[in-house]
Amino acid sequence: MKIIYFAEEAWEEGYMREKLPGVEMVCYIGSLQDNAGVTDASADALSVFVNSTIGKEELDRFPNLKLIATRSTGFDHIDLYEVRKRNVAVVSVPSYGVNTVAEFAFALILALSRRICDARRQVTETGSFSQEGFTGFDLAGKTIGLIGCGNIGIHTVKIALGFGMRPLVYDVRHDMELAEKTGFTYVELPELLAQSDVISLHVPYNAHTHHIINSENISQIKKGAYLVNTARGAVVETAAVVRALESGILAGAGLDVLEHEDDMKNEGNFLLKENQNEEELKTVVANQYLIDHPRVIITPHIAFDTVEAVKRILDTTAENIAAYQEGTPQNLLAA
């Protein structure tokens, strides 16, 4: 088997070669789009991260592909319809950062609740140790609303309970035994929005979760609440968040992901891109507004990024590739 591996960092190549000693591997740093000139008719497999979009154009570059091993839980960066047409199998990493992402969500919540970024900025930029303007709020006794309660969501609930918060959950599936055992309450989305002091998103991105927070329901949010998103950018309508901040519905936000975040990473490519649509342009402008907003914390999609979680990702990816090669595929999404 020949694998084309698109690495985030150079050290991954040696790590994966040790895990897959009998596999031919060609490694490139960056995404498929960063390495647009790479084509290989002899490649059997691709291994990519979420920053690599795979559709018809990318699949045409590897015409004999049999396997895509994505190093992620989400797979919205892969066109599964096009993949199925070509009989290419897709394997993922279903669970690697349950505690990792939940911990990061609370890092954002704590930073917002105690004005940590503002305080640090004052000290480093002005040298002032004045405490004026940095009064925060306790998490104990506050209500946190979780949209989505899979593995990461339930871990977030447990952390919230440790802080003395009251967790509400909106999810399409209800596990009443789990709710009773853990100590949270299922509610419908409007009730969650109306009661929560902090709203945290933990859903996968798909057609059902696209803009689950949007211009129509943003006004239902409790005035002065905080929004945290460590899921996918497009589960939140960016323009709605801007309006909520401007109107005072939201007191602030912590966002590890943004709509069209790839355009923010490479402004040159975005400016030169042909056939830009109006919605995309507005979203990019709105993203810049959020980046500049004094009560919004933006981080560059790093909720997953710990030493332990990245190694779990690579270990599972290596196991997925080895299992496929042995004829016993695991963590299969499409075939």
What is the pLDDT averaged over residues 40-45? Answer: 97
pLDDT of 280 reads 82
pLDDT of 90 reads 97
Residue 90: phi and psi, rounded to 5, are -125, 125
Spell out the alpha helix ranges (H) of the chain. 11-19, 56-60, 80-85, 98-113, 116-126, 151-162, 176-182, 189-195, 238-247, 261-265, 267-272, 278-292, 307-325
pLDDT of 263 reads 73
Residue 125: phi and psi, rounded to 5, are -90, -30
Q: What would the two tokens of residue 51 be?
A: 């920053």
At 333, is the pLDDT very low, low, confident or very high (cuts 50, 70, 90)? confident
Residues composing the chain:
335
At 140, is the pLDDT very low, low, confident or very high (cuts 50, 70, 90)? very high
Q: Which of 1, 28, 23 lies closest to 12, judged by CA? A: 28
Q: For the chain, give me the number of helices (H) and strands (E)?
A: 13, 13
Q: Please, are residues 294 and 118 in contact by the beta-carbon 8 Å criterion?
A: yes
What is the pLDDT averaged over residues 152-176? Answer: 97
Q: What would the two tokens of residue 49 be?
A: 């991260």
At 275, is the pLDDT very low, low, confident or very high (cuts 50, 70, 90)? low
Q: What would the two tokens of residue 203 be?
A: 């859903």
Q: Residue 35: what residue type?
A: N
pLDDT of 272 reads 53
pLDDT of 239 reads 96
Q: Same fold for the domain at 2-96+307-334 and the one at 98-298?
A: yes
Range in 92-101, 182-191, 210-219 the model is least confident about: 92-101
What is the pLDDT averaged over residues 304-329? Answer: 96
Given a cut of 80, whether residue 96 has pLDDT beyond it is yes
Q: Write out pLDDT tens, residues 197-242.
A: 999 999 999 999 999 999 999 999 999 999 999 999 999 999 999 9
pLDDT of 165 reads 98
- Output the DSSP codes for 228-285: EE-S-GGGB-HHHHHHHHHHTSEEEEEES--TTHHHHH-HHHHHH-SS--HHHHHHHH
pLDDT of 325 reads 95
| Arithmetic mean of pLDDT over the chain | 94
At 269, is the pLDDT very low, low, confident or very high (cuts 50, 70, 90)? low
Q: Tally the C-alpha atoms within 13 A of residue 318's C-alpha that lie toward its C-beta.
A: 20
Q: Write out pLDDT tens, residues 54-75.
A: 999 999 999 999 999 999 998 9
What is the pLDDT averaged over residues 1-24? Answer: 96
pLDDT of 262 reads 75
Q: Name the more confident of 212 and 269.
A: 212
Catalytic residues: 232, 261, 301
CA distance linking residue 258 with residue 264, whole number of Å: 9
At 253, is the pLDDT very low, low, confident or very high (cuts 50, 70, 90)? very high
According to CATH, what is the number of the domain 98-298?
3.40.50.720
Domain boundaries, the chain: 2-96+307-334, 98-298
CA distance linking residue 151 with residue 191, whole number of Å: 23
What is the pLDDT averaged over residues 41-50? Answer: 97
Given a cut of 90, whether residue 287 has pLDDT beyond it is yes
Strand order in the sheet with 225-229: 185-186, 166-170, 143-147, 198-201, 225-229, 250-255, 296-298
CA distance linking residue 255 with residue 127, whole number of Å: 28
CA distance linking residue 49 with residue 201, whole number of Å: 21
pLDDT of 261 reads 85
pLDDT of 320 reads 97
Given a cut of 60, whether residue 79 has pLDDT beyond it is yes
| Percent of the chain scoring above 70 in pLDDT | 96
pLDDT of 28 reads 98
CATH superfamily of 2-96+307-334: NAD(P)-binding Rossmann-like Domain (3.40.50.720)
pLDDT of 242 reads 97
At 334, is the pLDDT very low, low, confident or very high (cuts 50, 70, 90)? low
Given a cut of 60, whether residue 270 has pLDDT beyond it is no
